Structure 1
Amino acid sequence: STWGPCIADVNATSFWNETSGCTVGVQHRKVSCTKQNVGPVVNKRCLDSSRPETVRPCLLPCRKDCVVTPFSEWTAC
């Protein structure tokens, strides 16, 4: 099935990737066990080693640096 959106991974040991400045996230998808010519069967009928992954890491959009401009003249209070 298709992967869901990349969301912040609250279980990650590091929420922040220092080298890229991006937040680490996680994607989920639903995987079900099916038997040819029969259809869906209970998950315990499938070997864990042959089952595709249901969770994978991803990177959330990187934060952008602020644009800093020179100070302007003081204004009246």
Structure 2
Amino acid sequence: MSDEDQYDVFLCHNSKDKPEVIEIANELTTRGIKPWLDKWALRPGLAWQPALEKQIEKIKSAAVFVGSSGFGP
């Protein structure tokens, strides 16, 4: 597994809350914590579900964000 494939925490959120989650992801990064965030990790035009399932198996922690927009899909 390369360093690019190693993440510390999976960030789960409603897409409507993405701007706030990106702020948190940026702060985690400055503290040496590598977050997995769909906007950064998934390439547009490719099937996202297999990539997501692959990463979920490797990441040992998750942060679930429930903002004013409620739960996402």
Structure holding more helix per residue: 2
Measured against the shorter chain, the TM-score band is under 0.3
TM-score by length of 2: 0.20
TM-score by length of 1: 0.19
